[in-house]
Amino acid sequence: MNMVSYEPFVTEDGRTIGDAVMELRNITLRFGGVVAIKDISFDIREGEIRAIIGPNGAGKSSMLNVISGFYTPSEGEVWFEGRKRPQMRPYQVARQGIARTFQNIALFSGMSTLDNIMTGRITRMKSSLAAQALWWGKAEREESEHREAVEKIIDFLEIQHIRKTPVGRLPYGLQKRVELGRALAAEPRLLLLDEPMAGMNVEEKEDMSRFILDVNDEFGTTIVLIEHDMGVVMDLSDRVVVMDYGKKIGDGPPDEVRRNQDVIDAYLGVSHD
């Protein structure tokens, strides 16, 4: 164990956030000759909402894919809960308690809302194939227990009415919500949200923001968020990483980042007055 201790960090709204859940050390990611991420380091602390922002093609989603184990970094180390993470398959990363949503909805379209969210709990399901075939003992108990947990999430996200609807038939905003539910079902230590508000109208964005804040607040889940809507990012997040062309150009609380000249030049636009 190599638990790095940090001095407590006080956010702008006066909350204190704790130790690092995850540390990314000198991550570089190459695809052939293309360098998608170049020597980036930052940490994600317990209980915070950490935003990653940057212009299109800056490498934000690649960064999220590194965290979720979908890409293995060419160089650098991922430290999770005080331990260096060995190279592992994405489903193993999920088992460690990292869940995510996708930029383009990646729900299981043939399954109902309930089944989608139940699938999110797959890392916690233990009964054997034989027990499930006979629907007996552990299999049946487990199904009911997990159903109860899933129903709590369904209540939380206010999607009771679409419980048994195949998700392929749902409107976009609700699909995004179901996808959040599926990620929450795993009760993750770290929740990764890739543009949770892309393509939403103002009302849907407000709903989604409320859910994200509530998840962070009620379940204490640490959240990493990629989002293009600046208003949302600045309001929701405790700390922001700014990327441009695969490099980190800013890191800190929203207000500090907003004043950072590099960030303004690269992302918010050079001011002309």
Partner 1 sequence: MFYREAGDFKTSYTQDSQTFPIRFDRFRYYAVLAVALAVIPFVIDDYWASALIVPFLIYAIAAIGLNILVGYCGQLSLGTGGFMAVGAYACYKLMTAFPDINIVLHIVGAGLVTAAVGVMFGLPSLRIKGFYLAVATLAAQFFLVWLFNKVPWFYNYSASGQISAPERTVAGIPVTGPNTEAWAQYLICLVFVVVLAWAARNLTRGTVGRSWMAIRDMDIAAEIIGVNPLKAKLTAFAVSSFYIGIAGALFFAVYLGAVEVGEAFGIQKSFLILFMIIIGGLGSIFGSFAGAAFLVLLPVLLKNVLVGGLGWPTDLAAHLELMIVGALIIVFLIAEPHGLAQLWRTGKEKLRLWPFPH
Q: Name which position in 45, 60, 100, 176 contacts partner 1 (CB under 8 A).
A: 100
Rank residues 143 and 262 by Cβ distance to partner 1 and give the closer one: 143
Rounded CA-CA distance 4/73 in Å is 22
Provide the minimum distance between the beta carbon of 157 and partner 1 in the complex, in angstroms, as a whole number.
16
Asked whether position 229 contacts partner 1 by CB under 8 A, the answer is no
Provide the minimum distance between the beta carbon of 29 and partner 1 in the complex, in angstroms, as a whole number.
17
Residue 135 DSSP label: T
Q: Name which position in 140, 207, 256, 262 contacts partner 1 (CB under 8 A).
A: 140
Rounded CA-CA distance 114/111 in Å is 8
Residues 240-259 interacting with partner 1 (rule: CB under 8 A) = none
Q: In whole angstroms, how large is the CA radius of gyration of the chain?
A: 19
Alpha helix stretches (DSSP H) within the chain: 60-67, 90-95, 113-119, 129-134, 138-156, 172-185, 202-218, 230-236, 254-259, 261-263
- Strand arrangement, sheet containing 239-244: 98-100, 190-194, 222-226, 49-53, 239-244, 247-252
Token pair of 27, please? 């991550």
Asked whether position 13 contacts partner 1 by CB under 8 A, the answer is no
Rank residues 62 and 68 by Cβ distance to partner 1 and give the closer one: 68
Asked whether position 137 contacts partner 1 by CB under 8 A, the answer is no
| Residues that bind partner 1 in the complex, under the rule CB under 8 A | 68-70, 89-91, 93-95, 99-100, 102, 106-111, 115, 118-120, 122-123, 125, 127, 129, 132-135, 139-140, 142-144, 147-148, 151, 182-183, 186
